[in-house]
Amino acid sequence: MAPSHALRCCKRAVNWIPVLFIHLVVGWSYYAYVVELCVYTIPNNEERISYLVLFHVSITMFIWSYWKSIWSTPASPTKAFCLPRAEKELYEREERAERQQEILKKVARNLPVYTRTVGGAVRYCDSCQVIKPDRCHHCSTCEMCVLKMDHHCPWVNNCVGFSNYKFFILFLAYASLYCVVICATVVQYFIKFWTKQLPDTHAKFHILFLFFVAALFFISILSLLSYHLWLVGKNRTTIEAFRAPAFSNGPDKNGFSLGFSRNVAEVFGDEGKYWIFPIFSSLGDGQSFVTRLVHIDPEQANSVLQHNGKSPVNVGETSLAVPSDTQHTVIDNSKEKMDEGQRDSVTVEREP
């Protein structure tokens, strides 16, 4: 037990190395910019003050969002997704996988769970002993199930998921802004030192290196930020981008997409004044998600469209995708177990 505990402690300490590296780079950049550039290099007071104000605004938002990404505890499923005592005892005693699935399906029938494994089984975590909510995955590093898990990020030493996805995107955005501010204000002095228009002083190395580091970080961060903004627009996680979530009617990569505006609101909230601040404003509880209408019976599609004031589909069409940003009705797919199999049912709910 002792070696195992010591190994686990060492692993946790090693996991903080990337975070420590980021803090060291940011700390050095602060010294290089404030002291070497603004104090020793810039001769004009007005320019110096304006640069310092702009720099401190950008670094404050950057550090704020970065720390929120690090210290936000990943959200995990509630006890509602745990098996009741009687079913849990039956599940643990049962050795046949088919019978275990029957127990899980019986419990999952009363839960807002629409996704399954590729094989159609109820997603159950043996480590956490919970039925996984939609978009929930087990993180082996954090050793827990994380709601709407996107990925485990070594640069924040935390799982990026429902509780901190907005903070993570703002961290990338403000990190990019921080690099832009540095490059835009340092470039003229970088050129002067490079062309020897300024004398060689102790500030030269810091200015030259600061520009190169900021430019390299900006290129790498911007690509990551662009990818995650694309994911937000599609309402997908990184995991879902690589492996489409499986519903009762099969895998659907756009299963959770509700239209661009609704997708953005799920992450940033429906009040724009909070979007730029690393304050939690995401919609929902992370355990239940609206799913769009896909692959339903034509008669069902006609009735739903007529209910929404839309034109009915042609007879013979077997699938329909209704973008939720063009209507005010939320449509879900739900499953009901039948005696001889399963059928799809459509639930129509009016938004307030």
* Alpha carbon distances (Å) from 177 to 84, 180, 222: 49, 5, 10
Token pair in block for residue 220: 């790498």
Q: Which of 136, 139, 145, 153 is catalytic?
A: 153
Q: Which residues pair with 333 in a beta bridge?
A: 346
182 contacts 206 by C-beta, under 8 angstroms = no
Angle at 129 between CA 124 and CA 135, to 5 degrees: 45
Tell me how crowded residue 224 is: count the other CB atoms within 10 A of its CB.
16
Query: Does the annotation mark 153 as catalytic?
Result: yes
In the chain the beta strands, taken as DSSP E runs, fall at: 124-125, 130-131, 137-139, 144-146, 151-153, 158-160, 246-247, 250-251, 329-337, 342-350
Residue 114 backbone dihedrals phi, psi, to 5 degrees: -115, -15
Token pair in block for residue 287: 């355990």
179 contacts 162 by C-beta, under 8 angstroms = no
Q: Which residues are catalytic?
A: 153
